[in-house]
């Protein structure tokens, strides 16, 4: 099944995306306009992304001491993406947007993710601009966000530091007011920043006129010390080149210096950087940090406050939640790319003879490996992981549309469901679509372990997704420690209500009733394990097995998604597509869902085997 036919089925037959056109915001849209966007993205991905995926892997970004050098193909891909209008797809018409539903935008972006995940970092730019649209002043929107949407500028998110990755409360970058009148700068209260930001994706390059860094930093209190914890964190716009209130470059370079590029396992088409803010490489004139040596330059990179002091992390979460859905989709599409490659390989590679009743017939011709049951198992596993994850990601995107444009009660339910599902949408594909990539290598045998075939690159590219945007362990603690218990467990109850609704429909359908019962049992088991984990109220005990909990929770969510998809598929006339989707659902219920028993057992028993082992016993 082509990606396009799967997307069409999920968007229109399953999620009924066309119904969104009944809402005022999307009234000008129709299936035709949605399809036109999908066609354009599919074409650009085919022409400007896919042919260069290996090139950007082998020609890593280089730093010549002044500038970052990237292949021409990266520049061309960025221009094509910007010209397609996708940077501002969801924005209002009056600022040049398309007012496209997020679910269609997400579906259209899958073509790029599958063709070459690392050639473009456009989702960072869109996420950065979207954050400014939500939390910036009118002028910050005009000068920075709009110039990101139109492709002039690109964006980054600068959270991590060498000593502060998972624990952002330890951020050490400082921001001090930039002299008298600092609060009156038209671009926002002006500060001077000093510190180091590690791992910053697309942190330096020559792809755009300017780079808009969104930086987390702490403003010291009256005692000169930054407030401990996340409450002391504020958010700043720190442009690479300074701009005036019209968005024109002033000709002054801001003091953001590239200390070096990180050399990565995969995802090599995007630069990854260590940035030094305010180290003095590009001194900026004026301001509070005026040097006493008479050089006339202030100390620190110029940054403009976004929102209120101390609200930095809250604002940044606007970008991080979108980014987490996008990361889940990225993992999913890398899984898809491997699935397609290994399916094609399995159809053409002759090897071995079929098993007959009397054993192998040595005189028979070799068969194609797709004829072996074990290869089929690996193909169906990939299909169930990747198409299931795609359905989950689009379901999440549809919830975003509901939250933004639905009636108040439905919008609030969508918000809460997203709270609970976001760790799963990010993490489940990161783990299981990576496993899909591993199976794709396995199907290629020794050839899969070489660079002559693309599957090893997909695996390397995908390995990042369990690490960035909150590691697997951090996401699991967010799920069990916060999301399923927040608002008195209302989010979990809401999710259970949706799952039960699917169960009630499926139980009426011959062929699906057994799966409906299995899902009902899984849901009960997850609920019981959640309660048992928190029975003593001790977070150390409850969260000791947060990752197995997230695996079981995720598998239950995916089983629900597959059952719901199966209900839509069963109504389809086209035979192979229908058969394939029902087989993937069946695979998931027969081979995957039973695994939750082992995962939930350690959660339920608050098993401390790992947590309490003395260090010297490892």
Residues involved in catalysis:
469
Contact indicator for 169, 229 with CB cutoff of 8 Å: yes
Q: Which stretch binds ligand FAD (CB under 6 A): 39-47, 50-58, 152-160, 411-419?
A: 152-160
User: In the bound complex, what is the minimum distance in angstroms from residue 163's beta carbon to ligand FAD?
Assistant: 8
Among 157, 217, 506, 584, the residue binding ligand FAD under the rule CB under 6 A is 157
When asked if residue 158 is in the footprint of ligand FAD (CB under 6 A), the reply is yes
Alpha helices in 349-407 (DSSP H): 373-405
When asked if residue 131 is in the footprint of ligand FAD (CB under 6 A), the reply is no
User: In the bound complex, what is the minimum distance in angstroms from residue 105's beta carbon to ligand FAD?
Assistant: 21
User: In the bound complex, what is the minimum distance in angstroms from residue 359's beta carbon to ligand FAD?
Assistant: 48
φ, ψ of residue 237 to 5 degrees: the values are -90, 120
When asked if residue 201 is in the footprint of ligand FAD (CB under 6 A), the reply is yes
Among 187, 200, 243, 516, the residue binding ligand FAD under the rule CB under 6 A is 200
Joined together, the tokens standing for residue 141 give: 């929107």
Q: Which stretch binds ligand FAD (CB under 6 A): 137-145, 204-212, 221-229, 465-473?
A: 465-473
When asked if residue 159 is in the footprint of ligand FAD (CB under 6 A), the reply is yes
Measured from the CB atom, the residue of 44 and 214 that comes closer to ligand FAD is: 214
User: In the bound complex, what is the minimum distance in angstroms from residue 364's beta carbon to ligand FAD?
Assistant: 49
Residue located via tokens 């975003």: 400
φ, ψ of residue 455 to 5 degrees: the values are -65, -30
Q: Give the residue among 231, 242, 386, 253 at the shortest CA–CA distance from 308.
A: 231
CA–chain centroid gap for 234, Å, is: 23
SS3 category, 201: strand
Measured from the CB atom, the residue of 267 and 277 that comes closer to ligand FAD is: 267
SS3 category, 205: coil
User: Taking CB under 6 A as the criterion, which residues in 466-485 touch ligand FAD?
Assistant: 467-469, 471, 473-474
User: In the bound complex, what is the minimum distance in angstroms from residue 429's beta carbon to ligand FAD?
Assistant: 17
Q: Which stretch binds ligand FAD (CB under 6 A): 44-52, 194-202, 450-458, 601-609?
A: 194-202
User: In the bound complex, what is the minimum distance in angstroms from residue 315's beta carbon to ligand FAD?
Assistant: 14
φ, ψ of residue 174 to 5 degrees: the values are -110, 150
Measured from the CB atom, the residue of 220 and 473 that comes closer to ligand FAD is: 473
Among 160, 254, 502, 556, the residue binding ligand FAD under the rule CB under 6 A is 160
When asked if residue 240 is in the footprint of ligand FAD (CB under 6 A), the reply is no
Distance CA 495, CA 505 (A): 16
C-alpha distance from residue 360 to each of 269, 346, 365, 445, 586 (Å)? 47, 20, 11, 21, 29
When asked if residue 214 is in the footprint of ligand FAD (CB under 6 A), the reply is no
Q: Dihedral of CA 414/420/425/426: which sign?
A: positive
When asked if residue 502 is in the footprint of ligand FAD (CB under 6 A), the reply is no
When asked if residue 271 is in the footprint of ligand FAD (CB under 6 A), the reply is no
Map 233-288 to HEC letters. EEEEEEECEEECCCCCEEEEECCEEEEEECCCCCCCCCCEEEEEECCCCCCEECCC
Burial of 601 (0-12, 13-18, 19+ CB in 10 A): middle
Would you tell me how many other CB atoms lie within 10 Å of the CB of residue 88? 24
When asked if residue 117 is in the footprint of ligand FAD (CB under 6 A), the reply is no
User: In the bound complex, what is the minimum distance in angstroms from residue 190's beta carbon to ligand FAD?
Assistant: 23
C-alpha distance from residue 381 to each of 388, 404, 583 (Å)? 10, 35, 10
User: In the bound complex, what is the minimum distance in angstroms from residue 433's beta carbon to ligand FAD?
Assistant: 17
First to last CA, the chain: 47
Would you tell me how many other CB atoms lie within 10 Å of the CB of residue 434? 22
C-alpha distance from residue 379 to each of 373, 463, 574 (Å)? 10, 20, 21
Counting Cα atoms < 13 Å in the Cβ hemisphere of 432 gives 28
> Residue number with the shortest CB distance to ligand FAD?
165
φ, ψ of residue 113 to 5 degrees: the values are -60, -35
Measured from the CB atom, the residue of 166 and 612 that comes closer to ligand FAD is: 166
Q: Got the DSSP string for 119-180?
A: T--HHHHHHHHHHHHHHS-HHHIIIIIHHHHTTSEEEEEE--BTTBSS-GGG---EEEE-ST
Map 93-117 to HEC letters. HHHCCCCCCHHHHHHHHHHHHHHCC
Measured from the CB atom, the residue of 165 and 527 that comes closer to ligand FAD is: 165
When asked if residue 319 is in the footprint of ligand FAD (CB under 6 A), the reply is no
Binding mask 515-554 for ligand FAD (x = CB under 6 A): ----------------------------------------
Number of residues that bind ligand FAD (CB under 6 A): 19
User: In the bound complex, what is the minimum distance in angstroms from residue 202's beta carbon to ligand FAD?
Assistant: 7
Residues forming a β-bridge with 214: 157, 237
When asked if residue 217 is in the footprint of ligand FAD (CB under 6 A), the reply is no
Measured from the CB atom, the residue of 245 and 467 that comes closer to ligand FAD is: 467
Measured from the CB atom, the residue of 245 and 608 that comes closer to ligand FAD is: 608
When asked if residue 323 is in the footprint of ligand FAD (CB under 6 A), the reply is no
When asked if residue 227 is in the footprint of ligand FAD (CB under 6 A), the reply is no
When asked if residue 165 is in the footprint of ligand FAD (CB under 6 A), the reply is yes
Q: Which stretch binds ligand FAD (CB under 6 A): 136-144, 233-241, 461-469, 512-520?
A: 461-469
Binding mask 241-270 for ligand FAD (x = CB under 6 A): -----------------------x--x---
Measured from the CB atom, the residue of 264 and 349 that comes closer to ligand FAD is: 264
Measured from the CB atom, the residue of 7 and 132 that comes closer to ligand FAD is: 132
Measured from the CB atom, the residue of 172 and 474 that comes closer to ligand FAD is: 474
User: Taking CB under 6 A as the criterion, which residues in 554-583 touch ligand FAD?
Assistant: none
Q: Print burial letters for 399-416: b (CB count within 10 Å at least 16), e (below 16).
A: bbbbbebbeeeeeebbbb
Measured from the CB atom, the residue of 469 and 592 that comes closer to ligand FAD is: 469
Q: Which residues bind ligand FAD (CB under 6 A)?
A: 157-160, 165-166, 199-201, 264, 267, 272, 464, 467-469, 471, 473-474
């Amino acid at each position: 099944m082509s990606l396009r036919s799967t997307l069409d089925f999920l968007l229109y037959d399953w999620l009924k995306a066309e119904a969104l056109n009944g809402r005022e915001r999307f009234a000008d849209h129709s299936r035709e306009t949605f399809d036109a966007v999908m066609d354009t993205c599919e074409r650009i991905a085919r022409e400007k992304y896919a042919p260069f995926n290996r090139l950007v892997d082998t020609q890593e970004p280089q730093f010549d001491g002044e500038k970052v050098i990237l292949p021409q193909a990266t520049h061309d891909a960025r221009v094509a993406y910007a010209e397609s209008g996708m940077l501002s797809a969801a924005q209002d018409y009056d600022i040049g947007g398309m007012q496209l539903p997020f679910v269609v935008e997400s579906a259209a972006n899958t073509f790029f993710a599958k063709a070459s995940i690392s050639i473009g970092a456009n989702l960072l730019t869109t996420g950065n601009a979207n954050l400014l649209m939500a939390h910036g002043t009118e002028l910050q929107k005009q000068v920075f966000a709009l110039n990101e949407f139109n492709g002039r500028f690109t964006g980054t998110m600068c959270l991590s530091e060498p000593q502060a990755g998972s624990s952002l409360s330890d951020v050490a970058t400082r921001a001090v007011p930039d002299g008298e009148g600092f609060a009156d700068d038209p671009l926002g209260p002006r500060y001077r920043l000093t510190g180091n930001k590690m791992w910053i994706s697309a942190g330096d390059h020559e792809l755009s006129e300017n780079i808009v860094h969104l930086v987390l930093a702490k403003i010291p209190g009256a005692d000169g010390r930054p407030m401990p914890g996340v409450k002391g964190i504020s958010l700043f716009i720190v442009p690479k080149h300074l701009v005036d209130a019209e968005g024109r470059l002033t000709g002054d370079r801001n003091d953001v210096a590239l200390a070096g590029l990180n050399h990565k396992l995969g995802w090599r088409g995007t630069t990854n950087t260590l940035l030094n803010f305010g180290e003095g490489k590009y001194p900026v004139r004026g301001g509070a940090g005026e040097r006493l040596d008479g050089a006339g330059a202030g100390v620190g990179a110029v940054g403009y406050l976004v929102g209120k002091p101390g609200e930095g992390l809250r604002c940044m979460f606007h970008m991080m939640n979108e980014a987490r859905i996008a990361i889940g989709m990225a993992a999913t599409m890398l899984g898809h790319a491997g699935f397609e490659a290994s399916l094609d390989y399995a159809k053409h590679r002759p090897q071995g003879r079929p098993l007959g009743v009397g054993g192998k017939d040595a005189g028979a011709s070799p068969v194609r490996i797709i004829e072996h049951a074990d290869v089929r198992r690996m193909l169906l596993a990939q299909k169930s992981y990747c198409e299931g994850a795609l359905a989950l990601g689009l379901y999440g995107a549809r919830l975003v549309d509901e939250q933004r444009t639905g009636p108040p009660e439905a919008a609030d339910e969508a918000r809460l469901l997203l709270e609970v599902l976001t760790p799963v949408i990010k993490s489940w594909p990161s783990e299981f679509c990576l496993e899909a990539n591993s199976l794709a290598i396995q199907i290629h045998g020794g050839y899969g372990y070489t660079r002559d075939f693309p599957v090893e690159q997909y695996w390397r590219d995908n390995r990042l997704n369990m690490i960035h945007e909150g590691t697997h362990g951090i996401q699991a603690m967010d799920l069990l420690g916060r999301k399923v218990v927040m608002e008195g467990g209302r989010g979990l109850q809401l999710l259970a209500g949706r799952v039960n609704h699917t169960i009630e429909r499926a139980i009426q359908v011959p062929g699906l009733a057994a799966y409906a019962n299995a899902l009902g049992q899984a849901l009960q088991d997850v609920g019981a394990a959640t309660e048992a984990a928190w029975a003593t109220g001790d977070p150390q005990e409850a969260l000791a097995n947060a990752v197995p909990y997230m695996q079981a929770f995720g598998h239950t969510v995916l089983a629900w998604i597959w059952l719901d998809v199966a209900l839509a598929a069963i109504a389809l006339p086209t035979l192979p597509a229908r058969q394939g989707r029902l087989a993937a659902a069946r695979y998931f219920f027969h081979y995957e869902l039973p695994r939750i028993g082992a995962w939930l057992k350690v959660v339920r028993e608050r098993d401390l085997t790992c947590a309490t082992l003395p260090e010297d016993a490892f």
